[in-house]
Amino acid sequence: MNTTTNYTSVKEFSSCGSAFVVDQESFNVSDYKLPVPADIREHVHSKIVLDWVVERNLTCKEAKSNQSGYACGANSFCSYFGNGQGYRCFCEAGYMGNPYVYPTSPGCRDIDECEDPRQYPCHGNCKNKPGNYTCDCPFGMSGDGKVGCQTSRLAIIAAAIVAATSCIIVSGLVLFICKRRAKERYFRQNGGEILKHQRLKIFTEAQLTKATNNYDAGNKLGEGGFASVYKGRIDGDILVAVKKPKDVLVKKPKDMKKDVSLSTHDEFLHEIGIISQVNHKNLVKLLGICLETKVPLLVYEFIPNGTLYHHIHDKRSTILRLWQNCLRIALEVALALEYLHSLADPPVIHSDVKSLNILLDEKYSAKVSDFGASVLISPGKIHIAEKIQGTIGYLDPECLTTGELTTKSDVYSFGVVLVELLTGEMPTQRARSGEKINIIQSFISAVENRTLLHMTNFETSNEGEVREIDAVGLLARRCLNYNGVNRPTMREVAEQLARINKTLWADQGNDEETQG
């Protein structure tokens, strides 16, 4: 090693250079005190500085051209001191260590700025990079993370949208769970555990909503006091009639503080209990039920040709202009009521027999419907009605007076239907003057005076048909007797209509043979 002196002093003194070998890991040059010669110690008032260069008289460019002798290692740069003094090596920014090439030296190593936040500040997410580091502001904030982060306006809006969306999703999920639990509760309350083991099909609320196009008004078939009936399509091609309940608000009694909602829940469960126990070709068949709603939904077979009421009172209908069709329909209704009174177990009183509750299928055969007001009875027992149900004009006047509901009450209502079939008139109506007309009384008078034919409007009635019309008129008169005990039973009514029907067909056969 060569040493030289390069200093200026007011006093000459001898100088020497020294070199020594130390352990690089344990030696700290800052703790080392350089020796100062005794003859100049008193003149030196500052620290001695060791200054040195590599390869005097070589610039950085010249040193780099000589690759084998270039002293600067990786991640370092060369600094030339000028005036032929030579160059030295320094670690690049972001690196620390020994910048010189040496066999055992690790060289300039990358500084992990993320481990020293005091010297390398970061107010966000720190990430080390070779020779540098990045600092990104947290989500929802903006700015230079090394200096500071501020809440982003756009982030506030985004956060609000995310929060609102999350609230909607959570609310929807809670609503879905609540609805599902409500459906399960209604299923149990409506006796689902028992009914699902019977022959009835259990429908979901979603199935019936889809089948009726969300109960579109165009699919409404009819409407009563407690329910509306909608046409629906199940499994693509099966037509059904869905009976959907509605809430009815009744005025408060004087002893109650507010109006009350009349629930149809009991009525519908009652109807299910009755219709699920009966089976007759002239009774509308219950196909299934939905128990997921507060009040069950009833799914009946679809009867395509409307109500008997429509065909009686719509003058465009021609099906009832033929006497034989009227007689056949009357017999079919009588057979259905006879089944309810005599063959059902236990017997059933329909309680609301009227032309509006008699439907006609694709072959114009009669189907008795609507069992919401029906009553199960024990044979020979009298039912005391807590409330009178039925339709004005068809109601048994004796029941209105005594409150006693019997099978003879259905007989009276059937007698009114016979009057409608024979006369084409509604049981109660008003004249143009506004005066109320009692068709029943007019009918009874016509039967007793043998002038009934003047009240009918059938096409081409021969003598045989005239006799049949008179016979049915007399039967209707017996059904309309004020005293129930004097009315015939539905079995007697059905048997007599069957005899009349056979006579009619026999007369028609004889006429055809005569014409032949």
386 and 426 belong to one structural domain: yes
Decide if 126 is inside a domain: no
**How many structural domains are present in the chain?**
4
Longest dimension (CA), the chain: 170
Q: Residue 364 maps to which CATH number? A: 1.10.510.10
Distances (CA, A) of 117 to 127, 143, 150, 378: 12, 18, 19, 93
CA-CA distance, 6 to 56, in Å (whole number)?
A: 14
pLDDT digits (tens, 9 = 90+) for 116-162: 988 899 988 999 999 999 998 887 677 888 888 887 777 677 778 88
Degrees, nearest 5: CA angle 438-449-488: 70
Domain end among 302, 323, 343: 302
The residues facing 88 across adjacent strands are 79
Decide if 502 is inside a domain: yes
User: What value does the mean pLDDT take over residues 89-112?
Assistant: 87
User: What value does the mean pLDDT take over residues 263-271?
Assistant: 63
Range of the domain at 314: 304-516
365 and 473 belong to one structural domain: yes
Please tell me whether residue 62 adopts helix, strand or coil conformation: helix
Please tell me whether residue 76 adopts helix, strand or coil conformation: strand
229 and 339 belong to one structural domain: no
198 and 236 belong to one structural domain: yes
Decide if 33 is inside a domain: yes
Of 359, 467, 486, 345, give the one whose Cα is nearest residue 412.
486
479 and 407 belong to one structural domain: yes
Q: Structure pTM?
A: 0.61
352 tagged catalytic: yes
Decide if 338 is inside a domain: yes
pLDDT digits (tens, 9 = 90+) for 16-35: 455 566 666 666 655 666 55
Q: φ and ψ at 320, to 5 degrees?
A: -95, 5
Q: Which of 352, 370, 396, 410 is catalytic?
A: 352
350 and 285 belong to one structural domain: no
Decide if 213 is inside a domain: yes
Q: Where are the beta strands (DSSP E) in 268-399?
A: 286-290, 297-301, 348-349, 358-360, 366-368, 375-376, 383-384
296 and 308 belong to one structural domain: no
* pLDDT band, very low/low/confident/very high, at 56 (cuts 50, 70, 90): confident
Decide if 4 is inside a domain: yes
376 and 471 belong to one structural domain: yes
Is 324:352 a contact under the CB 8 Å cutoff? Answer: no
Q: Residue 196 maps to which CATH number? A: 3.30.200.20
* pLDDT band, very low/low/confident/very high, at 187 (cuts 50, 70, 90): low
Order of strands, edge to edge, in the sheet holding 220-223?
201-203, 286-290, 297-301, 238-245, 227-234, 220-223
Mean pLDDT (the chain, rounded) = 80
Cβ-based neighbours of 348, under 8 Å, separated by 6 or more: 274, 278, 340, 341, 371, 374, 375, 376, 377
Please tell me whether residue 188 adopts helix, strand or coil conformation: helix
The residues facing 299 across adjacent strands are 242, 288
348 and 449 belong to one structural domain: yes
Domain end among 302, 324, 345: 302
Decide if 476 is inside a domain: yes
User: What value does the mean pLDDT take over residues 376-405?
Assistant: 81
Q: φ and ψ at 229, to 5 degrees?
A: -115, 130
pLDDT value, residue 43: 53
Domain end among 103, 123, 143: 103
Greater confidence (183 vs 462) lies with 462
1 and 51 belong to one structural domain: yes
Is 440:416 a contact under the CB 8 Å cutoff? Answer: yes
pLDDT value, residue 180: 62
Q: Pull the structure tokens for residue 110.
A: 């990358």
Q: Is the model's pLDDT at 198 over the cut of 60? A: no
94 and 172 belong to one structural domain: no
408 and 504 belong to one structural domain: yes
CA-CA distance, 333 to 493, in Å (whole number)?
A: 10
Q: Is the model's pLDDT at 186 over the cut of 60? A: no
The 10 Å Cβ neighbour count of residue 422 is: 24
**Half-sphere exposure in the Cβ direction for 116 (13 Å, CA):** 9
Decide if 455 is inside a domain: yes
Single-letter residue type at 114: C
CA-CA distance, 469 to 504, in Å (whole number)?
A: 10
